[in-house]
Chain A
Amino acid sequence: MAKEILCFIEIDENQIKKSSLEIFSLARKVKELDGADAISCALFAEEPERYKDELFSYGYDKIYAVRSASFKNYRTQIFSKALVELLKNINPAYLLIPGTGNGRDLAPYVGAKLKTGVIADVIDVEKADGTLQFVRPCYAGNLLYWGKFLSEALKIVSVRPKAFPVPEKTEGRQGEFTMLNIEVKEEDTSVRVLEVLKETGKISLQDADFIISGGRGMGNPENFKLLHDLAGALGGAVGASRAVVDAGWISYDHQVGQTGKTVKPKIYFAFGISGAIQHLAGMRTSDIIVAVNKDPEAPIFKVSTYGIVDDALTFLPKFTEEIKKRLVK
Chain B
Amino acid sequence: MRFVGLIKQIYDPAEIKPSTQGPDLKLDGVPKILNPFDEFVIEECLQWKEKLGGEVVIITMGDDNAQEVLRTALAMGVDQVYHIMDLAFKGCDTLVTAEALARAIEKIGGADLIVAGKLALGGDTAHIGPQVAAFLDIPLISYVSKVKELSDSDKKIVAERLLEGGKEIVSASLPCLITVVKDINKPRYPSLIGLRKAAKVPIPVFSKADLGMGDIVINEAMVKVSPPPPRQAGEILTGSTEETISKLIENLFSQKVF
Contacts and interface: CB of A to CB of B under 8 A. Distances in A.
* Touch A–B, Cβ below 8 Å: yes
Contact of A191 (B131, B141, B235, B252): B141
Nearest to B21: A143
B228 A146 contact: no
B245 A315 contact: yes
Given A109-B134, A197-B167, A322 B246 contact: yes
Given A194-B169, A304-B234, A307-B235, A147 B221 contact: yes
Contacts of B94: 108, 118
B146 to A, nearest CB: 12
Interface size class of B (residues with CB under 8 A): 35 or more
A172 interface: no
A107 B139 CA distance: 15
Interface in A96-140: 100-102, 104-113, 115-121, 128, 133, 136-140
Contacts of A107: 130
Interface in B12-42: 13, 16, 18, 21-22, 25
B13 A139 contact: yes
Nearest to B242: A318
Contacts of A194: 158, 169-171
B95 A118 contact: yes
B124 interface: yes
B234 A143 contact: no
B193 interface: no
Given A112-B131, A120-B125, A141-B228, A147 B256 contact: no
B16 A142 contact: yes
B23 to A, nearest CB: 9
B106 to A, nearest CB: 15
A196 interface: yes
A222 interface: no
B255 A288 contact: yes
A307 B219 CA distance: 46
A199 interface: yes
A323 B252 CA distance: 10
A109 B125 CA distance: 12
B228 A143 contact: yes
For chain A, what secondary structure do more than half of its interface residues adopt (helix, strand, loop), or is it mixed?
A: mixed
Contacts, number: 230
A2 interface: no
B126 interface: yes
B166 interface: yes
A109 B256 contact: no
Q: How large is the interface on A (under 10, 10 to 19, 20 to 34, 35 or more residues)?
A: 35 or more
Interface in B104-128: 121-127
Contacts of B218: 150
A139 B124 contact: yes
A195 interface: yes
B interface, by DSSP: helix, strand, loop or mixed? mixed
B168 A193 contact: yes
Nearest to B167: A197
Contact of B122 (A77, A138, A326): A138
Q: Max chain B CB contacts within 10 Å: which of A102, A106, A138, A148?
A: A138
B143 interface: yes
A101 B163 contact: yes
B226 interface: yes
B234 A302 contact: yes
Contacts of A128: 223
A139 B163 CA distance: 22
Contact of A111 (B131, B226, B252): B131
B231 A120 contact: no
A314 B161 CA distance: 41
Interface in B216-258: 218-228, 231-232, 234-238, 241-242, 244-246, 248-249, 251-253, 255-258
B170 A191 contact: yes
A107 B140 CA distance: 13
A190 B134 CA distance: 14
A311 B168 CA distance: 43
A290 interface: yes
Nearest to B140: A76
Contact of A80 (B123, B134, B227, B246): B134
Contacts of A58: none
B72 interface: no
28 contacts: A75-B139, A77-B139, A77-B140, A101-B142, A101-B161, A105-B129, A108-B98, A109-B133, A112-B99, A120-B127, A142-B18, A142-B228, A143-B21, A143-B227, A146-B225, A148-B220, A148-B221, A150-B221, A192-B172, A194-B158, A194-B169, A198-B166, A199-B166, A288-B257, A289-B234, A306-B237, A307-B236, A318-B242
Interface of B: 13, 16, 18, 21-22, 25, 93-95, 98-99, 121-127, 129-131, 133-135, 139-143, 158, 161, 163-173, 176, 218-228, 231-232, 234-238, 241-242, 244-246, 248-249, 251-253, 255-258
Given A80-B134, A120-B126, A308-B237, 10 more contacts: A105-B142, A107-B130, A112-B131, A117-B93, A139-B18, A151-B219, A192-B171, A308-B248, A310-B244, A315-B245
